[in-house]
């Protein structure tokens, strides 16, 4: 996650005031749908968006154009969606960072829950807590014991302050009641380089980054953060299994639109998404990215976002993480 200043973020968001909204005429005539997301072309979110768009377009009989609006932690894209016409001409892929941003930003031009129509979750993945191969800690219990013996000596790398991985780490440390240094990097590649070089003890990151390093033995997994074991690393216990009962953190992607989308449109797209995520070719492609399929009802998706916003706001406050 690129480090940004509050001034830069708000400047980008305020520029949306002059941006055009969706085109109601196209929506009413069954015209093109724009699918927004806030990541760079070629990123996993972009790959997922294009896969869903291709299949959804066939099922709806309408062209779907994927448009990237990266920047400000995904909030520029989210703001564009929130202010678009609720006519089905604009939808978006929202990441779990949508809830993180609601906790990390002092001010956003939208309400992360109430200004969106949530259609369905799409995919979900845990984070993985790893170390270098010959680190003395073999389990989360070992990590906790070592941190209790020498508070502040151990260090954990993440891709940056305010990322989902950072907050997942802070929640782990808080629940374990231990002090472990957080070392933020300007992205995951720099963090993994220093972990392999033994400049830090641990790293919390995504399967997409870590699976190749786990496969060739350059890093070793201590735990996964989800509520159940990860299909790509079934031998690795969850954090909850390892002694921190109730701990559960996952990254996710979901499909949403502006508040007020017609119920019939939401219901139709929800049903088509569920069918798409059951297709073997789609499942295979997304699992290759380290993601599992988790279609939900619109109500369940909205509840998940609300729960995550509340959880991350508490973590940010308890850990005294500076908001931007």
Residues 194 and 296 in one domain: no
- Look up the pTM and report it: 0.89
Residues 116 and 142 in one domain: no
Residues 17 and 114 in one domain: yes
Confidence of residue 73 (pLDDT cuts 50, 70, 90): confident
Non-local (6+) Cβ contacts of 28 within 8 A are: 87
Q: In this model, does residue 214 exceed pLDDT 50?
A: yes
- DSSP, collapsed to helix, strand or coil, labels residue 40 as coil
For 165-198, the pLDDT digits (tens) are: 999 999 999 999 999 999 999 999 999 999 999 9
Residues 89 and 14 in one domain: yes
Q: Is residue 246 part of a domain?
A: no
Q: What is the CATH number of the domain that holds 312?
A: 3.40.190.150
Q: How many domains does the chain have?
A: 2
In this structure, what token pair is assigned to residue 111? Answer: 């309400």
What residue ranges in 193-309 does DSSP mark as E strands? 202-205, 220-224, 250-258, 292-293
Q: In this model, does residue 83 exceed pLDDT 80?
A: yes
What residue ranges in the chain does DSSP mark as E strands? 33-37, 64-68, 90-95, 116-126, 128-131, 155-158, 181-184, 202-205, 220-224, 250-258, 292-293
> What are the counts of helices (DSSP H) followed by strands (DSSP E) for the chain?
12, 11
Dmax (CA) of the chain: 67
Non-local (6+) Cβ contacts of 171 within 8 A are: 247, 249, 311, 315
Query: What is the enclosing helix (H) or strand (E) of 86?
Result: none
For 263-304, the pLDDT digits (tens) are: 999 999 999 999 999 999 999 999 999 999 999 999 999 999
Give the orientation angle of helix 263-276 with respect to helix 44-60, to 10 degrees. Answer: 110
Residue % of the chain over a pLDDT of 70 = 91
Final residue of a structural domain among 224, 241, 259: 224
Which domain covers residue 201, as residue numbers?
128-224
Residues 36 and 73 in one domain: yes
Residues 136 and 213 in one domain: yes
For 30-45, the pLDDT digits (tens) are: 799 999 999 999 999 9
Residues 64 and 198 in one domain: no
For 220-257, the pLDDT digits (tens) are: 999 999 999 999 999 999 999 999 999 999 999 999 99
Structure confidence at residue 26 (pLDDT): 35
Query: Mean pLDDT for the chain?
Result: 92
Q: Is residue 204 part of a domain?
A: yes
Q: What is the CATH number of the domain that holds 216?
A: 3.40.190.10
Q: Is residue 232 part of a domain?
A: no
Non-local (6+) Cβ contacts of 206 within 8 A are: 125, 127, 128, 165, 188, 251, 290
Structure confidence at residue 16 (pLDDT): 42
Residues 159 and 110 in one domain: no
Q: Between residues 222 and 73, which one has the greater pLDDT?
A: 222
For 120-143, the pLDDT digits (tens) are: 999 999 999 999 999 999 999 999
Structure confidence at residue 22 (pLDDT): 38
């Amino acid at each position: 996650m690129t480090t940004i200043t509050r001034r830069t973020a708000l400047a980008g968001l305020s520029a949306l005031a002059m941006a055009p909204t969706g085109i109601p005429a196209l929506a009413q005539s069954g015209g093109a749908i724009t699918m927004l997301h806030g990541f760079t072309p070629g990123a996993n979110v972009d790959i997922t968006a294009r896969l869903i768009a291709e299949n959804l377009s066939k099922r709806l009989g309408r062209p779907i154009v994927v448009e990237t609006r990266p920047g400000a932690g995904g909030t520029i894209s989210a703001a564009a969606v929130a202010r678009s016409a609720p006519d089905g001409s604009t939808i978006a892929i929202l990441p779990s960072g949508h809830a993180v941003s609601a906790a990390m930003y002092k001010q956003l031009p939208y309400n992360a829950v109430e200004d969106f129509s949530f259609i369905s979750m799409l995919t979900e993945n845990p984070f993985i807590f790893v170390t270098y191969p010959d680190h003395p800690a073999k389990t989360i219990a070992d990590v906790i014991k070592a941190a209790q013996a020498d508070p502040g000596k151990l260090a954990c790398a993440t891709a940056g302050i305010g990322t989902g991985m950072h907050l997942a780490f802070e929640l782990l440390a808080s629940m374990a009641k231990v002090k472990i240094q957080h070392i933020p990097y300007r992205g995951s590649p720099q963090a993994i380089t220093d972990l392999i070089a033994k400049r830090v003890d641990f790293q919390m990151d995504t399967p997409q980054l870590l699976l190749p390093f786990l496969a060739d033995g350059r890093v070793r997994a201590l735990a996964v953060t989800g509520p159940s074991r990860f299909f790509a690393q079934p031998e690795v216990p969850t954090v909850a299994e390892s002694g921190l009962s109730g701990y559960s953190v996952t990254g996710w992607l979901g499909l949403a639109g502006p508040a007020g989308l017609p119920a019939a449109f939401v219901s139709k797209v929800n049903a088509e998404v569920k069918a798409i995520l059951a297709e073997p070719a789609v499942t295979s492609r997304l699992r290759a990215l380290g993601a599992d399929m988790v279609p939900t009802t619109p109500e369940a998706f909205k509840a998940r976002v609300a729960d995550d916003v509340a959880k991350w706001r508490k973590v940010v406050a308890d850990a005294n993480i500076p908001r931007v």
